A and B are shown apart, each in its own frame.
Chain A
């Protein structure tokens, strides 16, 4: 089921998890969470197709944060909308999942 909501792109130590559902909420949370077990030393969550995140969505994103911290992995967010940047700032998610630009990933490809 995770294939329906997350598209995986891997190169070297990097995995980009392109979230393909437009809503990260209680309904999509379980499917997104499945990708938690497929993280790499540098994991990037791509929010380009995401139009909505609520607190249930934040909760599932925090599972990636927890997993990354336990594994010593780096976790980044990419293509966050201005509204979601505001949301991340409000709950201080940005401290645990800083943003990265697509061009910064070029060095790893």
Chain B
């Protein structure tokens, strides 16, 4: 049975740092290697930032709920917003390109980084049909499901 830790934050990017710090503590306590913890912090940071900016549209009183679920095989992190449901999420490879620099398009790496850094991820609508839930899974070394 999984152990769960829940955090709920207002849609203010300052609190993304709180989730990130919590993720690091949880992963460290579970014995994840240092480099994996860095991957995990970055992927969770990107997902929480997306939830705040794109899901909740920076409306402070809309919450982002984060659940860390731990079992013997993995750490699963669910990030749920209160937005309008899953939008377009493109995890394809995105790199810095000259033409984008010239056009001032300097963002949009988040989903690519999430897809590249986690072992497994999925997106769904929340139970009441509003909002988006993204689940990120990090398997313990040598474990897959």
Interface residues of A (CB under 8 A from B): 23, 25-27, 52-56, 58-59, 62-63, 65-66, 69, 82-83, 87, 90-93, 95-96
B13: chain A residues within 8 A (beta carbon): 25-27, 56
A104 CA to B58 CA, complexed, in Å: 44
Number of residues in B with C-beta < 8 Å to the partner?
A: 26
Instruction: Check B45–A25 contact: CB distance below 8 A.
Output: yes
A27 CA to B15 CA, complexed, in Å: 10
Interface of chain A: mostly helix, strand, loop or mixed? helix
Name which residue of chain B comes closest to A63, CB basis.
B106
Instruction: Check B109–A27 contact: CB distance below 8 A.
Output: no
Instruction: Check B109–A58 contact: CB distance below 8 A.
Output: yes
The interface bits of chain B over 75-114 (1 if a CB of A lies within 8 angstroms of the residue's CB, else 0) are: 0000000000000000000111000010010111110110
Instruction: Check B95–A66 contact: CB distance below 8 A.
Output: no
Interface of chain B: mostly helix, strand, loop or mixed? helix
Please count the residue pairs between chain A and chain B whose beta carbons lie under 8 angstroms apart in the complex.
69
Which B39-73 residues have a C-beta within 8 angstroms of A?
Answer: 39, 41-42, 45-46, 49
Interface residues of B (CB under 8 A from A): 13-14, 16-17, 20, 35, 38-39, 41-42, 45-46, 49, 94-96, 101, 104, 106-110, 112-113, 116
Instruction: Check B46–A55 contact: CB distance below 8 A.
Output: yes
Name which residue of chain B comes closest to A92, CB basis.
B95
B95: chain A residues within 8 A (beta carbon): 90-92
